Amino acid sequence: MDRLLTRRTPRSSRAVAAQADSSARTRAFMMMFALLLVLATAFAAMAQEQSNKGGTYEPQVGQAGKDVVWVPTPQALVDKMLEMAKATPKDYLIDLGSGDGRTVITAAKLGLTAKGIEYNPQMVEVAQKAAKAAGVSEKATFEKADIFESDFSKADIITMFLLPWINEKLSPTLLKLKPGTRLVSNTFTMGEWQPDETATVTADCTNYCKALLWIVPANAEGTWQLGEAELKLKQSYQMLSGTLGPTEITDARVRGTAISFSVGGANYTGTLEGKSMSGTIAGSNAKWTATMK
Ligand SMILES: C[S@@+](CC[C@H](N)C(=O)[O-])C[C@H]1O[C@@H](n2cnc3c(N)ncnc32)[C@H](O)[C@@H]1O
């Protein structure tokens, strides 16, 4: 037993020594690994800071934004949105949350004056550089601002790729814009305000390929004198209901300043201007006018 003990004792010491040695190596390795990790993190942060300072900021799809992340609208849908809005060089376009500026720049290339409102200052810089590279800096401008604190009342066209809750929150402001203002959203709806048109692109588009268009309606609600009869109109967004004399009107709506309704088989179309409207009755060429009471 003793011999066994004496024989085993030196072996045990070697094992303990070896184990201690191995633990020290593991600790050293762990410390080295931790140090490398710290250095790598610091280096990445420095590289990011330097690249941002150096103007080579690279936006990442899905990166955080104030109220919504950045995902660019596919170019095919940008083109479709502008086509649906019937954009002309006379129009002033504002893109709410303009990201890399592609909608604003595309509009400027078509001759529109266009502005992007974007909360992320680095994205504003990216967009400004892209506008410069495209040679449209004068027509395509970008402002670092919050869409909830911005005035876009001068726009003829508003484009957005936000989220349903944001569109809904903005809708009371958008509804007060001048009649005929075109609002075009990539994919997302606007609460109870139904779009006037929708379109989906299939070519060169795999995600977020649907556009929705709203045309800010003029206010038609009230009682109007139309010839000998009273036209009583109720309005919910662009949809109208009511009566002409004793007869209920159908298919009644306002699209910007254009009004249309049917009554007793006659189809009325016309234009609203403040407290008066006028137009024709389809088929008969008869003219009609009405004045708000
Ligand atoms: C989905 S991206 C759309 C970008 C661009 N409009 C497009 O269609 O390619 C939304 C953009 O809105 C910006 N954004 C988020 N909240 C915002 C806010 N409150 N005000 C201004 N911009 C905002 C984000 O930084 C992001 O660039």
pLDDT at residue 4 greater than cutoff 60? no
Residues 259 and 239 in one domain: yes
Residues 250 and 195 in one domain: no
Q: Average pLDDT in the 103-109 region?
A: 98
Residues 149 and 183 in one domain: yes
Q: Is residue 134 part of a domain?
A: yes
pLDDT of 69: 98
Residue 99 or 33, more confident: 99
Q: Is residue 128 part of a domain?
A: yes
Residues 108 and 187 in one domain: yes
Residues 258 and 190 in one domain: no
CATH number, residue 152: 3.40.50.150
Query: 163 CB under 6 A from ligand 1?
Result: no
Q: Print the domain residue range for 123.
A: 75-215
Residues 227 and 109 in one domain: no
C-alpha distances in Å from residue 195, one per residue of 96, 142, 149, 183, 211: 18, 27, 25, 9, 10
pLDDT in tens, 65-90: 999 999 999 999 999 999 999 999 99
Q: Model confidence at 129, in pLDDT bands (50, 70, 90)?
A: very high
pLDDT at residue 120 greater than cutoff 90? yes
Residues 102 and 181 in one domain: yes
Q: Measured from the CA of 97, which atom of ligand 1 is nearest? A: 12
Residues 192 and 126 in one domain: yes
C-alpha distances in Å from residue 164, one per residue of 67, 99, 124: 12, 18, 24
Q: Is residue 143 part of a domain?
A: yes
Residues 192 and 79 in one domain: yes
Gap from CA of 46 to ligand 1 centroid (Å): 26
From 63, 67, 75, 126, give the residue whose CB has the most ligand 1 atoms within 8 Å, as the site to mutate.
67
Q: Model confidence at 6, in pLDDT bands (50, 70, 90)?
A: very low
Q: Is residue 204 part of a domain?
A: yes
Query: Which one of 215, 239, 260 terminates a domain?
Result: 215
Query: 106 CB under 6 A from ligand 1?
Result: no
Closest CA to 140 of 124, 119, 120, 151: 124
Residues 88 and 167 in one domain: yes
Q: Is residue 93 part of a domain?
A: yes
Average pLDDT over all residues of the chain: 88
pLDDT of 284: 83
Query: Which one of 215, 234, 260 terminates a domain?
Result: 215
Closest CA to 256 of 228, 218, 286: 218
Percent of the chain at pLDDT > 90 equals 80
Nearest CA to ligand 1 atom 23: 97
Query: Which one of 200, 215, 230 terminates a domain?
Result: 215
pLDDT of 72: 98
Q: Is residue 156 part of a domain?
A: yes
Structural domain count, the chain: 2
pLDDT at residue 282 greater than cutoff 60? yes
**Highest mean predicted confidence (pLDDT) among 23-27, 39-43, 51-55:** 23-27
pLDDT of 33: 42
pLDDT in tens, 148-190: 999 999 999 999 999 999 999 999 999 999 999 999 999 999 9
Nearest CA to ligand 1 atom 4: 99
